[in-house]
Amino acid sequence: MKLTHIIPLLTLTTAVYAAPQSFDFKDPKGVNNAVFKLDAPLESINGSASGISGNVSFDAENPGATTGKVVVAAESLTVPNPMQKEHLHSANWLDVAKYPEITFEAKSLANVKTTDNVTTADATGIFTLHGVSKEITVPIKLTYLKGKLSSRVPKLEGDLLVIRGNFVINRNDFNIQKGQSEDKVSPTIDLSLSIAGASPTK
The residue type at 48: S
In the complex, minimum distance from the CB of residue 190 to other proteins, in angstroms, rounded to a whole number: 15
Q: Which is nearer to other proteins, 49 or 109 (CB)?
A: 49
User: How far apart are alpha carbons 137 and 130 in whole angstroms?
Assistant: 18
In one-letter notation, the amino acid at residue 25 is F
In angstroms, the first-to-last Cα distance of the chain is: 34
Q: Which of 70, 162, 169, 191 binds other proteins (CB under 8 A)?
A: 162
Residues in Cβ contact with 195 at an 8 Å cutoff, skipping those fewer than 6 apart: 25, 27, 32, 33, 34, 52, 70, 162, 163, 164
Q: Which is nearer to other proteins, 124 or 143 (CB)?
A: 143
Binding pattern to other proteins, positions 20-59, x when CB under 8 A?
Answer: ---------xxxxx-x------xx--x-x-x---------
Query: What are the residues binding other proteins (CB under 8 A)?
Result: 29-33, 35, 42-43, 46, 48, 50, 78, 80-84, 143, 145, 148, 151-152, 160, 162, 194-196
